[in-house]
Amino acid sequence: MTTLKNVQPLSAEKLFDLLKTEFASYIDSKLNTNLSVEFAHVYNVINISFPEIIEGTMFTLIVNDDEIVLSNNSPNTEYNTELLEQHLSEFLNEKCS
């Protein structure tokens, strides 16, 4: 679990919109890939999935006015989910700081 300061602050709705419009191209440019990324949003929780890598939710973001908590839900160690988490954290830091 990683906690990031929500300096701007971004609401869950605004962050969800940013993720939908910008994160897929961001991660693709970092990894030189064309990954499929799916998002789901309910209240202050945003789930992020990479269906080509694992089934189900890989990351969960819990957003409030002060911080964003990022959890890696992937039990699968076959894939380097830490690299995806690192790039997601970098993206969030750029958008929330």
pLDDT in tens, 56-86: 889 999 998 888 899 888 766 666 788 888 9
| Mean pLDDT computed over every residue of the chain | 86
pTM assigned to the model: 0.89
Does 3 have pLDDT greater than 80? no
- pLDDT at position 10 is 83
Residues 88 and 19 sit within 8 Å (Cβ to Cβ): no
Check residue 52 and report its DSSP letter: T
pLDDT of 5 above 80: no
Strands 2-5 and 67-72: antiparallel
The CA–CA distances, whole Å, from 22 to 55, 64, 87, 95 equal 22, 21, 13, 10
Number of domains the chain is built from: 1
Which amino acid is it at 23?
F
What is the domain range of residue 7? 2-96
pLDDT tens track for 15-50 = 999 999 999 999 999 888 888 999 999 999 999 998
